[in-house]
Amino acid sequence: MNDGGGSSELIKVAKDALDEIDSVLQEMRSLSEHAAGDKMTPFERSMAQNSIDGYIAEIDRIATEAELKAARLQNASRPGPREPLH
C-alpha cells in the first residue's frame, strides 16, 4: 500500500473493528461480573454462558470482516499489469 489514503483506510478499518470489539468486551465483562455473584440460579448461569459464547462468536465475526475489508483495500491499491508500450 503506497498511498496515504489507502493506509488511512486500513487504519480506519482496524480502528472500527477494535471499537466494536471493545464494546462487546465491555458487555462480556458486565455479564461476567453479574454472573460471578451468588444471586444467579444454575439456569441463569447457563444462559449467561450462552450469551458469552455468542459474544465470542461476534468478536470472531468482527475480526474476520475486518480482515476481509483490509485484504480488499490492499488488493485494490496494488497496481495492475502494465500496458506494453507500442
The identity of residue 62, as a single letter, is: I
Residue-by-residue pLDDT tens, the chain, 86 positions: 455 567 889 899 999 999 999 999 999 999 999 999 888 999 999 999 999 999 999 999 999 999 999 988 888 776 666 555 55
Helix (H, G, I), strand (E, B) or coil at 45: helix
What is the value of pTM for the model shown? 0.78
Residues 6+ apart with CB under 8 A from 52: 28, 31, 32
- Give the separation between CA 13 and CA 63, rounded to whole angstroms: 10
| pLDDT for res 38 | 84
- String of b and e for 47-69 (b: at least 16 CB within 10 Å)? ebeeeeeebeebbeebeeebeeb
| pLDDT for res 57 | 98
